[in-house]
Copies of this chain bind each other. A is one copy, B any other.
Amino acid sequence: VYQSAQHVALIGLKEVTLTAAEQTGVDSMTTDEPSYVLSSRLFQPENTIIQLPHSTIGGEQFTMMAGPCSVESAEHILAMAKVAKEGGATLLRGGAYKPRTSPYSFQGMGEAGLKALRQAADATGMDVITEVMDETHVALIAQYTDVFQIGARNMQNFSLLKAVGQTNIPVALKRGLAATVDDLLNAAEYIAANGNHQIMLLERGIRTFDNQYTRNTFDLNAVPVLQKLSHYPVVVDPSHATGEWDLVTPMARAGVATGASGMMVEIHDHPEAAFSDGPQALKPATYLEMCRQIWAIDQLMRSW
């Protein structure tokens, strides 16, 4: 399944018996591990860099992605895009199809939301990242987005992973609430094995016993672990990882300090009236102050 100047990966052989002639060209063999051959540094030591019209993810520069949890109206998403841009974000986030725990919660604006999101991004010179929940939506959403986001609940929706793997649009794969690092890399492998190698990995908190004051446990250890094992850029999401707006700024600082390639953050001008996830949204002034701190830490770290 994989071939480079130095390595060949073969899948599905129960035993490998090399002829004398073949052995001449082989220095060493690794069997069985890791199962995520395309995602592993063993087979691609150099970093994957994702290049979008207005953004680079995985390169020298830290990348900011911001926007409201849900697209709520054309006016609102445009206003939020301007705020996001002012803070230095180059990707605009916003959900048009929302995976909600309860069927009675707001489920998103659908295609009208996609249009509004695209227009807001174009008007401000940003790229779009938005969630795809369903393989039947892939073609539609592809018309509007620069990056597909796969949500935590769908991290092992293998049909969806295969579907986005057959496009040439970059994919941001969110770690599931109970997904190990290996589970996440195997899920990424479903995308890569279908031909799409433009993948970024998002740490957004895992579920543990510690859930009284935060929605999730932010597993920042996973950032350097993933960077060691895989060449894909790693992005952090302090909004979902905490679930509380007043914890977002310190945890965003922690995220950039780990050496992540970027972050995604939720903003809203009236969090108390947000259609979803209001408690974790930053108001514009708080967001801008957070960005100031993030860019300063990023600049310091890149000066070393």
Contact = CB atoms under 8 A, between A and B. Distances in A.
A214 interface: yes
A178 interface: yes
Interface in A95-122: 99-104
A50 interface: no
Nearest to A299: B300
A247 B222 CA distance: 10
Interface in A255-304: 255-259, 293, 296-297, 300-301, 304
Contact of A254 (B35, B194, B255): B255
Given A103-B193, A157-B153, A193-B103, A250 B241 contact: no
Contacts of A143: none
A253 B279 CA distance: 27
B218 A247 contact: no
A206 interface: yes
Contacts of A225: 213-214, 247
A209 B209 contact: yes
Given A186-B102, A193-B104, A218-B221, A181 B251 contact: no
Contacts of A257: 250, 253-254, 256-257, 297
A246 interface: yes
Interface in A228-253: 228-229, 241-242, 246-247, 250-251, 253
Contacts of A228: 246
A224 B214 CA distance: 11
Interface residues of A, number: 72
Given A134-B135, A153-B156, A293-B304, A102 B180 contact: no
Copies of this chain present: 4
Interface string A18-38: 000000000000000001100
A17 interface: no
Contacts of A99: 156, 158
A189 interface: yes
A180 B246 contact: no
Interface in A119-146: 133-136
Given A104-B193, A218-B219, 9 more contacts: A101-B186, A135-B136, A153-B156, A154-B156, A250-B258, A250-B259, A253-B301, A254-B255, A297-B297
14 contacts: A35-B102, A101-B156, A134-B135, A153-B157, A208-B217, A208-B219, A210-B219, A217-B219, A224-B246, A224-B250, A250-B257, A250-B258, A253-B258, A254-B254
Interface of A: 1, 11-12, 35-36, 99-104, 133-136, 153-154, 156-159, 176-178, 180-183, 186, 189-190, 193-194, 206-214, 217-225, 228-229, 241-242, 246-247, 250-251, 253-259, 293, 296-297, 300-301, 304
Instruction: Please name the 4 residue pairs, one residue from A and one from B, whose CB atoms are nearest each other, closest first.
Output: A178-B178, A257-B257, A153-B156, A253-B257
